[in-house]
Amino acid sequence: MIKAGIIGATGYAGAELVRILMGHPSVEIKWYGSRSYIDKKYADVYRNMFEIVEDTCLDDNIEELAKQVDVIFTATPQGFLGSVLNEKILSETKVIDLSADYRIKDVATYEKWYKIEHKSPQFIEEAVYGLCEINREKVKNARLVANPGCYTTCSILTAYPLVKEGLIDANTLIVDAKSGTSGAGRGAKVNNLFCEVNENMKAYGVATHRHTPEIEEQLGYAAGKEITISFTPHLVPMNRGILATEYASLVKKADGSYPTKEEIRAAYEKYYKNEKFVRVLEDGVCPETKWVEGSNYVDVNFVVDERTGRVIMMGALDNLVKGAAGQAVQNMNLLFGLKESEGLELVPMFP
């Protein structure tokens, strides 16, 4: 059995990690770290776990934890892992970071968008960006995995094949993303109260959201050049789910015509045909967040709009699963040579 420790086990992403790992046949959780709930029974913080998890919350002493487990998941605020990581930890255990600390290769970009000084930039280079469908081979040999953000996973996977194949002009990409409220975390804020979110919808972080440079970096690799995109997140009155609606101008072919629907579809099939967790929907079917809820799937599809010369791409995932904990487990499976889908064959729950 792989021994796992979680730092930040009482946030929503941490709790989802617990839920998924409870059903994973090859892992046992040895450490439920929670700065806020030290010495409290985990099941008193998440009562769904009553009679399932008997453990008590521990602190976030990552050095001590590193000695005891094979893998550490850090589901912590930005800056935490950056401020405590060291070579000794990485020599003793694998680390999968669900925060943004090691996602962005350029430390200046990180510090500009996150407004935090990076305390251990020396590990950025070796960190592997854990978007399994794209970086699978690199993840297998990593010591430190930067688990992608929820919006970014959805945004990138939805557009990746078309960027990679040069079918769209990546600099025209506009990502309009909508997220359930669990993405805002479990902190007690007026803005996230039921009465403020229910029957309401809004954009936030317009032109300034921190997932923007992460999308730009990864899609830039696919495009083979630096790109600049627009990304707008929105808050939706539901618990889980992200829907990304993405717009881009099609690149005309040599004969002046636009790529056809069939050519676009072929690009998606090329990259995702063998990907268990990316489902390219049938023609005419728009992704819905409910159809992937509780599962590790991303559903994607597209519409070619010849009137405007644009393609509209759509992707849906569960922000706590493929957007966070599920992808972290997928990365863990790769790190330990397990079947990539082990413990992740979760059937979406409907309704």
- Give min distance, CB of 109 to a copy of itself, in A: 12
CB of 304 to a copy of itself, least distance (A): 8
**Quick one: which H or E segment has residue 4?**
strand 2-7
CB of 259 to a copy of itself, least distance (A): 15
150 catalytic residue (yes or no): yes
307 binds a copy of itself (CB under 8 A): yes
- Rule CB under 8 A: say whether 47 interacts with a copy of itself: yes
Contact between residue 146 and residue 320 where contact means Cβ atoms under 8 Å apart: no
What mask, x for binding a copy of itself by CB under 8 A, covers residues 22 to 41? xx------------------
By CB under 8 A, the count of residues binding a copy of itself is 80
For position 211 contacting a copy of itself by CB under 8 A, the verdict is no
Strand segments, DSSP code E, in 64-154 are 71-74, 94-97, 128-129, 144-146
Read out DSSP for 36-91?
TTTTSBHHHHSGGGTTT---B-B---HHHHHHH-SEEEE---TTHHHHH--HHHHH
CB 173, CB 246: distance < 8 Å: yes
Type of residue found at 267: A
How is residue 292 annotated by DSSP?
A: G
CB of 272 to a copy of itself, least distance (A): 11
Binding to a copy of itself in span 177-206, by CB under 8 A = 178, 180-182, 186, 188-190, 192-204, 206
Radius of gyration of the chain (CA): 20
For residue 249, give the 3-state DSSP assignment.
strand
Q: Which is nearer to a copy of itself, 108 or 349 (CB)?
A: 349
Output the smallest distance, CB 18 to a copy of itself, in A. 8
Question: Which amino acid would we find at residue 35?
Answer: R
226 binds a copy of itself (CB under 8 A): no
User: Can you tell me the distance from the alpha carbon of 156 to that of 323, in angstroms, rounded to the nearest whole number?
Assistant: 11
Q: Interaction with a copy of itself in 49-88: which residues (CB under 8 A)? A: 49-52
Of residues 228 through 287, those in contact with a copy of itself by CB under 8 A are 228-230, 232, 234, 236-241, 243, 245, 247, 279, 281, 285-287
Beta bridge partners of 303: 312
Active site residues: 150
